[in-house]
Amino acid sequence: MNSTTFTLNSLTTLQVTNTAEATEVAIAGELDWSCTDRLRRHLHDELRLLPRALILDLDAVTFCSAHSIRVLVDTALHARAADIPYVISRRSQVVQRLIKLLKLELILPFHSTAAGARGAVQPP
């Protein structure tokens, strides 16, 4: 297992953990306009490495802008195009509210636990 932490802005960090089964990305802090370009770059860089799956943990996100939701949707679409399973393992109330309000549950699939997310992206 390999883990690296990146700073997206003064309030937001992104931790990438690579395992044999998946790449897990945990984001903490505020996903606002000031970090969307870096967020997009990091997520797309991970997809270019062709992981077996990409799992996002958004439980510690305290604010999420429309631009950031767009990055998550774009990442989901790129993952599908590359046939890489993509799932959100946990999400904060802020993120959950936005996903439900925008009716994005099918594009941004969710599991309430990391174990559930890992199980969902593993081949049968």
**Would you say residue 86 has pLDDT above 70?**
yes
Which pLDDT score, from 0 to 100, does residue 20 have? 86
C-alpha neighbours within 13 Å on the C-beta side of residue 39: 28
3-state class of 7 per DSSP?
strand
pLDDT over 90 percentage in the chain = 81
**Would you say residue 124 has pLDDT above 70?**
no
Domains recognised in the chain with CATH numbers: 2-121 (3.30.750.24)
Least confident of 49-63, 86-100, 109-123: 109-123
**Torsion sign, CA atoms 35, 36, 41, 43:** positive
User: Which is nearest to 119 in space by CA: 60, 63, 55?
Assistant: 55
